[in-house]
Amino acid sequence: MNKKLLINNQEIDVKIIKQTNGHVEFELEGKTFSFDRQAEHLITSRLDNNSTNRHQVFSKKFGEKTFLAIQSRSFIVEDAAVLARGGGALHGAMVSPMPGKILKIMKKVGDSITQGESILVMEAMKMEHTIKASSDGVISKLNVSEGQQVDGGLILVELEEIK
């Protein structure tokens, strides 16, 4: 089965060969990999010469995202299909940082905005967060309304970027 994943917003094609409980084999960039989950933060990889490599990988699947930490780096992995669901490309889309409630929407579809301009205010964890334009553009879609409860990672606003 072929799958598109987004790793820190970088698109990756993976061919899954085998996926059972605690074991996975896949093809990535023309190379075959085989991994087993041994413990909460421990994954091992099987090598051709019958030896095994140990990898400390902190990971937590939360909703549709997997939060990962390998060495000193942090990653977020998600299925590309999930993200595309709202019909929006990644670029020019403002995503809710966490679950919360939409308090106020200052713009409407068709409005031109400049980078950094406030589009809406949401409340999450008792704090207000202002969602700002990631680039200059025209608002092409508003997926939420005032008072609405939203999940984290949801595309709130889509922008048509002006290049």
Partner 1 sequence: MTIQFKKILIANRGEIAIRVVKTCRELGISCVTLYTDEEKDLPHSMAGDQFVCLGSGALKDTYLNQDLIIKICKDLGVDAIHPGYGFLSENAGFCTKVTKAGIKFIGPSPESMILMGDKTGSKRKMEEVGIPLIPGYHGDNQDPSLLKKEASKIGYPVLIKASAGGGGKGMRIVEQDKDFDESLDAAKREAKNAFGDDRVLIEKYIKNPRHIEIQVMSDQHGNHTHLFERECSIQRRHQKIVEESPSVALDEKLRKRMTEVATTITKAIDYEGAGTIEFILDGDIPGAFYFLEMNTRLQVEHPVTEMVTGLDLVKLQIEVASGLKLSYSQESLVQRGHSIELRIYAEDPDNNFLPSIGKIFTVGKTQARLDTGYQDGNSVTISFDPMLAKLVVYASDRAGAIKAALSALKEVPFLGLTTNRDYLSRILTHKKFIEGETFTHFVQTYKDDLQPKKLNQEELSLAVAAHLLGNTSTSQISQNIESAWDRLVGFRL
Q: Which stretch binds partner 1 (CB under 8 A): 81-89, 107-115, 123-131, 141-149?
A: 123-131
Q: Which of residues 37-56 bind partner 1 (CB under 8 A)?
A: 37, 39-41, 43, 45, 55-56
Looking at 2, 49, 108, 126, which residue binds partner 1 (CB under 8 A)? 126
Long-range contacts of the stretch 119-128 (C-beta < 8 A, 24+): 119/94, 119/156, 119/157, 120/144, 120/156, 120/157, 122/96, 122/150, 122/156, 124/96, 124/97, 124/98, 124/99, 124/100, 125/98, 125/100, 128/103
62 binds partner 1 (CB under 8 A): yes
The rounded distance, in Å, linking the Cα atoms of 30 and 123 is: 45
112 binds partner 1 (CB under 8 A): no
12 binds partner 1 (CB under 8 A): yes
4 binds partner 1 (CB under 8 A): no
Looking at 70, 81, 90, 106, which residue binds partner 1 (CB under 8 A)? 70
